[in-house]
Amino acid sequence: MQVQAANSNKYPDVAVIGAGVFGVWIAHQLIDEGKSVVLLDAYGAANSRASSGGESRIIRVGYGADEFYSRWAMQSLQRWRDFATSVDPTLFHRTGVLWMSSKGDPHGLHSLRTLEKLGISFEILSKNVLQDRYSQINFSDIETGILENDSGVVAARRAVQSLFRTAIQKGLDYRADVVLPPASEGDLSEIRTTSGKTLSAGVFVFACGSWMPKVFPALLRDRIISTRQEVYFFGTPPGDPRFSVSTMPAWIDFGNETYGVPDLENRGFKIAFDRHGPQFDPDLSERIVTADLLAETRQHLAHRFPALKNAPLLEGRVCQYENTSNGDFLIDRHPEFRNVWLVCGGSGHGFKHGPMVGEYVASRINDDGPVEPRFTLATKAKSRQRTVF
């Protein structure tokens, strides 16, 4: 539904619900295009319950043979770098991103072809070169490495909050409140909140992450699944610079489902498994790490980074993914509300795409254009079979 600037109206052009990376980039883009925007969130931008509230996120371009997400990641990477340059250069660290590939790994081979096609700067590193260049890493079970030279790490929580403050300075209206599930059809005229307030707008964008099934239970309860994810930060040896962002790249061990970020802002060496955990309630579930997964993480840490075998755990965090059936984003109009957009399903790989999601949603709102087929609600099954990594 196309909207025009409504400066003379009593209600905003767009109401965005959810102040995570998707919601804030959408609001920021619309504000830059001259729209009046209200942003609502129950807990605040990049809060500790949000998937966007972590210390760091890897910005990488490799997606195997999936050129669509690789192209979006390439464009988003530049937007993240431009934003950091304009606001705070420490928000982005050009560490490079190292993909570790075992022998015969098809994902690595497919990524090479896509990176080459898109003109991305990368290096192919043999096992010997890897071991010489990164002696702090054990590559005994790794055949080759693919290093994305210009990729890196965003200080996630600080970056989203900086983007939020920038949008506020440009005129964004922020309100802390909880939105109740809509109860009409056709055009949604207003939303209600638990505080008893109502808000009218021309268009409503729901970018609530793991809370989407709570806002639209009948539609999304079985299509957006929130899963528990544990992330660990380990202390590096005193005075040892080998595990800092200035010395080693962010890394992805695709075959072992692990990834990590070198010591960023003195918070510790980050490591986590990229696989879906059990279902999780983002409001009520406690966020205490489990002994079994911590033990498994320590085992992998000791194997891949021998010098960190006995490293102390500095911090364990529990966040959540919110997943579609296959990992594709859900960005589509609500089937019962012509002026309502659903934007979610990004967890596990979505943070990096925030800038392009903002641009894409704003363009769909402005020109009422068709939705990318892989983003549609119709493609979201109720059974999980992840295909996007």
Divide the 389 residues of the chain into consecutive groups of 10 and give the mean pLDDT of each group: 50 97 98 98 96 96 97 98 98 98 86 96 97 98 97 98 98 97 86 96 97 96 96 97 97 95 97 96 97 98 98 97 95 95 95 98 93 96 86
What residues are paired with 386 via a beta bridge?
none
CA distance 162 to 137: 34
Quote the pLDDT of residue 4: 45
- Measured CA to CA, the distance from residue 133 to residue 112 in angstroms comes to 20
What per-residue confidence (pLDDT) applies to 183?
A: 82
- Is 301 in a helix, a strand, or coil? helix
Q: Which amino acid is at 65?
A: A
DSSP 8-state symbol, 212: H
Domains (ranges, CATH) in the chain? Answer: 14-51+157-224+326-379 (3.50.50.60), 93-150+225-320 (3.30.9.10)
Question: What local confidence, expressed as pLDDT, does residue 285 receive?
Answer: 97
* Whole-prediction pTM: 0.96
pLDDT at position 8 = 43
